[in-house]
Amino acid sequence: MKSYLDAIRNGEKGFVVKNAVFLPFHCEIISIWIGKEMSLLATPELIVDFSESDVLAFREGDSYTNIVFRKWSDLSKELGHHKGHIILRAAEKGADIFKVENIHYIRIGFQDHQKEIFFEIIDNPYDL
């Protein structure tokens, strides 16, 4: 099992293929925001119901997590060049999700139309 705090501290990158992101770590996801960079007009979509198979799909390998966003077609085109991001509200695998100190916001950034994505821990998803 791979820690997201360690992966982010070490500057590890993930990648995107069309509507699927590949994260170089594991985590317990509580909620997901996806959307354009914050502005007065843009509000991110909040996803909390992971049971609907037409919205998201998850796959976990030995050292990665794969999330497929089924309602989107090409995340790097839609969110690339810093136009948008995905934010995970998550805890480390096996951590007590009822302790606030175990919960973090992970921003997934899309620098350009390439396939590489980066990660950062943020304090407030509404203050970007």
> Of 107, 24, 36, 44, which is closest to residue 75 (Cα–Cα)?
36
Residue spans of beta strands (DSSP E) within the chain = 14-17, 20-23, 28-36, 45-47, 56-60, 65-69, 84-91, 104-110, 116-122
CA 59 to chain centre: 14
| pLDDT tens digits, 33-56 | 887 765 555 666 778 877 777 889
Predicted pLDDT at 73? 87
- Do the beta carbons of residue 86 and residue 120 sit within 8 Å? no
First-to-last C-alpha distance (Å) of the chain: 30
- Spatial distance between the Cα atoms of 52 and 60, rounded to a whole number of angstroms: 18
- The two structure tokens encoding residue 39: 């502005």
Q: pTM to 2 decimals?
A: 0.88
Choice between 109 and 39, residue whose per-residue pLDDT is larger: 109
